[in-house]
Amino acid sequence: MTELLNNREHKKEELKKLILRIHNGEDVNTLKEEFRQVLSGISPLEIPIVEQELVKEGVSAKDIAKMCDLHVELFRESVAGTDELEERDLPDGHPLKTLYAENKEIMKDAEMLNLYARTLASTKDERMGKEILGVLEELISDLRGVGFTHYNREEMLIFPYIERRGLTAIATVLWTKHDEIRFMIKHFAELLKRKNELPWDEFTSRLVEKGGKLSFALSDMVFRENNIYYPTLKALLTDGEWKAIREQEEEMGFYKVNPPAWDPGEDVKPLHPWEIDPELSVEQLLGLPKEVQQALKGKPLEFDKSELKREGDVDMGTGYMNVEELRAVFEALPVDVTFIDRDDRVRFFSPGERIFDRTLSVLGRPVQLCHPPKSVHIVNRILRAFKEGRKSEATFWLHLGPKYVYIKYVPLFDKGGNYMGTLEMTMDIAEYRKIEGEKRLLDWRVEVKRETT
Amino acid sequence: MTELLNNREHKKEELKKLILRIHNGEDVNTLKEEFRQVLSGISPLEIPIVEQELVKEGVSAKDIAKMCDLHVELFRESVAGTDELEERDLPDGHPLKTLYAENKEIMKDAEMLNLYARTLASTKDERMGKEILGVLEELISDLRGVGFTHYNREEMLIFPYIERRGLTAIATVLWTKHDEIRFMIKHFAELLKRKNELPWDEFTSRLVEKGGKLSFALSDMVFRENNIYYPTLKALLTDGEWKAIREQEEEMGFYKVNPPAWDPGEDVKPLHPWEIDPELSVEQLLGLPKEVQQALKGKPLEFDKSELKREGDVDMGTGYMNVEELRAVFEALPVDVTFIDRDDRVRFFSPGERIFDRTLSVLGRPVQLCHPPKSVHIVNRILRAFKEGRKSEATFWLHLGPKYVYIKYVPLFDKGGNYMGTLEMTMDIAEYRKIEGEKRLLDWRVEVKRETT
């Protein structure tokens, strides 16, 4: 114990010297390696205590704040090295490897959160407290990203593959837990904002409690995923499936990792959930983690073999619809659409009740002949600007009785960048100007109740 | 002259007696025939003068107002009987017969307008003036309808047929004149509103001037249409074309007529402009009015033979688009769309940048599995209400950073009334809440100028 204290005392003196050099203008980055050496001898758990003592001895909080990044880095280094086993045989950029890597980041941040919340509760120094609060705010703001990236990718990109194979329960349980964590993160962030509102002791003890629970929930999820969910994925998903997943990942983003491109081979066709064979082979079944095998016993899996593409469906690139559905969609849109092709001829208008009438006779008619002669020169000027790429939209708005009509023209181009035509979109925006506040999905019950009473 | 005055004096006395009976409670309708007999001896041009004298003698303006309808009716009877020649051999409900019938109404109203404007200028009686103003306001309000119905049907339903045949000049000239009349009507209505603003003499002399010009322009258009345009249509358009026109007329409405249904026969296929053979036969050419034949001499007609339907086009019912165009339209829409089919499976989402991410993996997935487990019961409740026809929409709105997100769900039904699925529409309405005033097509020039200076 004495030795530990002596060591800390020694390190503290070293740190003070370094901080003085920062204070005198030396850049923190050039001192990075020296900081690393000094800090490496102290347990991450001790760093806040050392900091607190430094503050007491008059070192400026501003200077100490500059060390924060180094603490985090050091802490990460100290917990690195877990879960290596599962990842070892996966190539870089493989979605599963990325998931493992993100879980390491999540685990670290979860532990940091817990640690800093506890340190905050025990510190008596105001400046010190302020800085820890700053770290906590940053951490919780980072952790919100877990929901948008890591969890969201699992829920949207990966769950469909196991649902098809009948393992819907795993998806539902994980999503429920994800949402619990999302709420805990949200509530912790809200609590942090109340720092000037609550008595300090009450504030910090609540932070410790909520931080502990959140930290535990995050770690617990990492544990479940690493030990049950990811091995399940590994046993079931084929290269084609991972390839399709990889193609869509970037859109949703990652949690503190930046995976390289990965392609199992040009000959491997990306497989979307509706394209797979959902039946489990014996090999796949035996490859599942014991917990999952146990859960499946006695319950036959309900494979989802429904076909997405029906006879006569139009392949829209992002789905399949038949013509009757397509027409109904256009009729239901809150936007009236008219499309003129590259030759300025009216090619399509959306059916149903419209703000400005369109009749079948207008099909094939040059748009110049559909306008009052007086304004034709403007129509031509807009189209020229579109075709020459000088304009990408033209908007207009006007009152029409109780309607406030908003009109937007945009040019459409094919994949080769060639002009395909111009789309006219007309909508009544009067209603949208009256809306106030919020009405969310979960409020729907209330509305129904009101109507039936 | 003395006789005329005596006659008027006599009729005036008769009218006074009748009006007294109205005043004493007898219904104007039961007295209609007696009114007709008394009024029939007076020229329509004299009626306002008689009225004016009655007002001077103390007959209440209110009672005289009740006679207004009768004047109008009488005036119409007096001008009826023209253009009978052209109509005679057309069946009731035939679009061309309807056009002729509307022109009679337009002609009468045009003459009434001129007549009443002049009477107003000559009257010295205030009450009388007030009543004539009332009649003028009603007349001009009616006449605005000419633009929405009679002219609009010609421009949108009928012009395309003669344009295809190369007679674009006729269409352009008529439309230009229609628009001039629309503006004259608008300006006359605006002038009427300034009655308390301008000195009375200036006000009435302007009314006489504008009323005279408008009346002339309306009558002149009737003359042109009846003598040149309609005979041209009669020579060129076939039963199939008139049938297609008749099918679309009701949507736009009529001017003071109510034509019955008309069908040239079940075996006659409705022909839309893009389906006709635009080349003129010798018979058609010789059937054209002399003025048109004269105009066509020396200039070869440029028939429009462009095909509307291309290979691979999807027949949308209200036009033809290929899949690349369809996709581009959905991508350009200011509304993100997701469609789930009758089995609650995601079948399509619109591509491109979206408010809420959608990835291909979601296709074919039951919508219940696409939602956080916590809110699934609400999703199911909404879908049940849609399928059972208890609800026709569900709307939600919420703030999302700078976006104000508006979400609308509607059920889609096929023509047989069977549930086809549900459409989710998501849009950012923040922009629409900031818009002020108006920006019309003709303002576009200004914008471009500003940008280039």
Sign of CA dihedral B347, B348, B354, B358: positive
Token reading at B41: 């001896």
CB A372 within 8 A of CB B175: yes
Name every chain A residue with its beta carbon within 8 A of the beta carbon of B161. Answer: 361
Mean pLDDT confidence for B263-281: 93
Residue contact A378–B176, C-beta within 8 A: no
CB B321 within 8 A of CB B341: no
| ipTM of the complex as predicted | 0.77
Distance from CA of A71 to the nearest CA of B (A): 32
Token reading at B115: 């007549």
Which of B 286-345 lie inside 8 A of A, CB atoms? 306, 308, 314-321, 323-330, 332-335, 337, 339, 341, 343, 345
Residue contact B378–A445, C-beta within 8 A: yes
Would you give the DSSP letter of residue B165? T
Name every chain B residue with its beta carbon within 8 A of the beta carbon of A95. Answer: none
- pLDDT tens readout for residues B88-120: 689 999 999 999 999 999 988 998 898 888 888
Name every chain A residue with its beta carbon within 8 A of the beta carbon of B244. Answer: 360-361
Q: How far apart are CA B87 and CA A407, in angstroms?
A: 41
Residues 6+ apart with CB under 8 A from A399: A405, B438
Which of A 212-271 lie inside 8 A of B, CB atoms? 244-245, 248, 251-252
Contacts 24+ apart (CB under 8 A), A364-372: A364/B160, A364/B273, A364/B274, A364/B306, A364/B308, A365/B160, A365/B163, A365/B273, A367/A340, A368/A344, A369/B159, A369/B160, A369/B163, A369/B168, A369/B171, A369/B172, A370/A346, A370/B156, A372/B175, A372/B176, A372/B179
Q: How far apart are CA B414 and CA A62, in angstroms?
A: 68
Distance from CA of B181 to the nearest CA of A (A): 12
Could you give the 3-state DSSP secondary structure of residue B146? helix
Intervals of chain A under pLDDT 70: 1-6, 8, 28, 39-56, 58-88, 445-453
- Please classify residue A331 by burial: count the beta carbons closer than 10 Å to its beta carbon, then call 0-12 exposed, 13-18 middle and 19+ buried: middle
CB B340 within 8 A of CB B422: yes
Mean pLDDT confidence for B429-442: 90
Q: Is A10 on the interface with B (CB under 8 A)?
A: no
Residues 6+ apart with CB under 8 A from A421: A339, A340, A341, A342, A347, A411, A412, B325
Token reading at B32: 């209609």
Beta bridge mates, A405 = A398, A428
Q: Which domains does chain B possess?
A: 81-273 (1.20.120.520), 315-434 (3.30.450.20)
- Please classify residue A25 by burial: count the beta carbons closer than 10 Å to its beta carbon, then call 0-12 exposed, 13-18 middle and 19+ buried: exposed
- What is the structure's pLDDT at A440? 85
- What is the structure's pLDDT at B295? 74
Query: Phi then psi for B428, rounded to 5 degrees?
Result: -95, 115
Name every chain A residue with its beta carbon within 8 A of the beta carbon of B432. Answer: 406, 429, 432-433
Q: Beta-carbon neighbour count of residue A271 at 10 Å?
A: 19
Nearest by CB: A408 against B273, B334, B433 = B334
Could you give the 3-state DSSP secondary structure of residue B72? helix
Q: How far apart are CA B451 and CA A184, in angstroms?
A: 50
- Measured CA to CA in angstroms, residue B158 lies from A373, B104, B109, B153, B304 at distances of 16, 19, 24, 7, 15
Token reading at B268: 């006659």
Amino acid of residue A252:
M
- What is the structure's pLDDT at A96? 96
- Which has the minimum average pLDDT: A111-115, B68-72, B232-236? B68-72
Q: Beta-carbon neighbour count of residue B341 at 10 Å?
A: 23
Interface test with B, best of A269, A325, A427 (most B CBs within 10 A): A325
Mean pLDDT, chain B, whole residue set:
85
CB half-sphere exposure, B106, CA atoms < 13 A: 30
Residue contact B432–A429, C-beta within 8 A: yes
Look at residues B172, B183, B174 and name the one whose alpha carbon lies nearest to residue B143: B183
Q: Is A406 on the interface with B (CB under 8 A)?
A: yes
Q: Is A444 on the interface with B (CB under 8 A)?
A: yes
Q: How far apart are CA B170 and CA B235, in angstroms?
A: 15
Residue contact B325–A347, C-beta within 8 A: yes
Mean pLDDT confidence for B31-36: 75
Name every chain B residue with its beta carbon within 8 A of the beta carbon of A427. Answer: 334
Distance from CA of B268 to the nearest CA of A (A): 17
Distance from CA of B307 to the nearest CA of A (A): 8
Which of B 411-440 lie inside 8 A of A, CB atoms? 412-415, 420-421, 423, 425, 427, 429, 432-433, 435, 437-440
pLDDT above 60 for B76: no
Name every chain B residue with its beta carbon within 8 A of the beta carbon of A370. Answer: 156
E strand or H helix at B13: helix B2-23
- What is the structure's pLDDT at A81? 47
Name every chain A residue with its beta carbon within 8 A of the beta carbon of B320. Answer: 347-348, 363
Name the region of B176 (left: φ>0; alpha: ψ -120 to 50; beta: rest). alpha
- What is the structure's pLDDT at A397? 95
Beta bridge mates, A339 = A348, A423
Distance from CA of A353 to the nearest CA of B (A): 10
Strands (E), B99-202: none
Residue contact B442–A375, C-beta within 8 A: yes
Token reading at B198: 């301008």
- pLDDT tens readout for residues B298-337: 777 788 888 899 999 999 999 999 999 999 999 999 999 9
pLDDT above 60 for B36: yes
- What is the structure's pLDDT at A70? 57
Report helix angle B95-122 to B200-224, nearest 10. 160
Residue contact A333–B252, C-beta within 8 A: no
Residue contact A156–B362, C-beta within 8 A: yes
CB B321 within 8 A of CB A347: yes
Q: Beta-carbon neighbour count of residue B321 at 10 Å?
A: 23
Report helix angle A126-146 to A95-122, nearest 10. 160
Q: How far apart are CA B231 and CA B227, in angstroms?
A: 6
- What is the structure's pLDDT at B17? 79
Interface test with A, best of B159, B181, B358, B363 (most A CBs within 10 A): B363
Would you give the DSSP letter of residue B325? H
Name the region of B91 (left: φ>0; alpha: ψ -120 to 50; beta: rest). beta
E strand or H helix at B287: helix B282-287
Direct distance between the N- and C-terminal alpha carbons of chain B, in angstroms, rounded to an integer? 71
- What is the structure's pLDDT at A169? 81
Q: How far apart are CA A113 and CA A215, in angstroms?
A: 7
- Residue in the structure block whose two tokens are 């005055």: B5
- What is the structure's pLDDT at A373? 84
Could you give the 3-state DSSP secondary structure of residue B430? coil
Q: How far apart are CA B204 and CA A309, in angstroms?
A: 71
- Measured CA to CA in angstroms, residue A415 lies from A412, B321, B324, B328, B443 at distances of 10, 16, 9, 10, 32
Of B116 and B10, the one with more pLDDT: B116
- What is the structure's pLDDT at A132? 87
Residue of B nearest to A356 (CA): B252
Which of A 137-156 lie inside 8 A of B, CB atoms? 152, 156
Residue contact B369–A332, C-beta within 8 A: no
SS (H, E, C) chain A: CHHHHHHHHHHHHHHHHHHHHHHCCCCCCCCHHHHHHHHHCCCCCCHHHHHHHHHHCCCCHHHHHCCHHHHHHHHHHHHCCCCHHHHCCCCCCCHHHHHHHHHHHHHHHHHHHHHHHHHHHHCCCHHHHHHHHHHHHHHHHHHHHHHHHHHHHHHHHHHHHHHHCCCHHHHHHHHHHHHHHHHHHHHHHHHHHCCCCCCHHHHHHHHHHHHHHHHHHHHHHHHHHHHHHHHHHHHHCCHHHHHHHHHHHHHHCCCCCCCCCCCCCCCCCCCCHHHCCCCCCHHHHHHCCHHHHHHHCCCCCCCCCCCCCCCCCEECCCEEECHHHHHHHHHHCCCEEEEEECCCEEEEECCCCCCCCCCHHHCCCEHHHHCCHHHHHHHHHHHHHHHCCCCCCEEEEEEECCEEEEEEEEEEECCCCCEEEEEEEEEECCHHHCCCCCECHHHHHHHHHHHHC
**Residue B81's pLDDT band (boundaries 50, 70, 90)?**
very low
Residue contact B329–A308, C-beta within 8 A: no
- What is the structure's pLDDT at A43? 56
Nearest by CB: B318 against A328, A329, A350 = A350
- pLDDT tens readout for residues A261-301: 999 999 999 999 999 998 888 888 888 888 788 777 777 77
Token reading at B102: 């509307």
Residue of A nearest to B167 (CA): A369
Could you give the 3-state DSSP secondary structure of residue B395? strand
CA B72 to chain centre: 23
Distance from CA of B8 to the nearest CA of A (A): 46
Mean pLDDT confidence for B144-155: 96
Residues 6+ apart with CB under 8 A from B234: B86, B96, B287
- Which pairing describes strands B394-400 and B403-413: parallel, antiparallel, or unpaired? antiparallel
Residue contact A359–B157, C-beta within 8 A: yes
Q: How far apart are CA A282 and CA A157, in angstroms?
A: 25
- What is the structure's pLDDT at A83? 46
- What is the structure's pLDDT at A363? 95
CB A364 within 8 A of CB A346: yes
Residue contact B443–A163, C-beta within 8 A: no
CA B53 to chain centre: 39
Which of B 336-375 lie inside 8 A of A, CB atoms? 337, 339, 341, 343, 345-351, 357-366, 369-370, 372-375
- What is the structure's pLDDT at A49? 61
Of all residues in chain B, the percent with pLDDT exceeding 90 is 54
Query: Looking at chain A, how many residues does it have?
Result: 453
CA B237 to chain centre: 23
| pTM: predicted TM-score of the whole model, two decimal places | 0.76
Could you give the 3-state DSSP secondary structure of residue B31? coil
Name every chain A residue with its beta carbon within 8 A of the beta carbon of B372. Answer: 175-176, 179
Helices (H), B342-443: 376-387
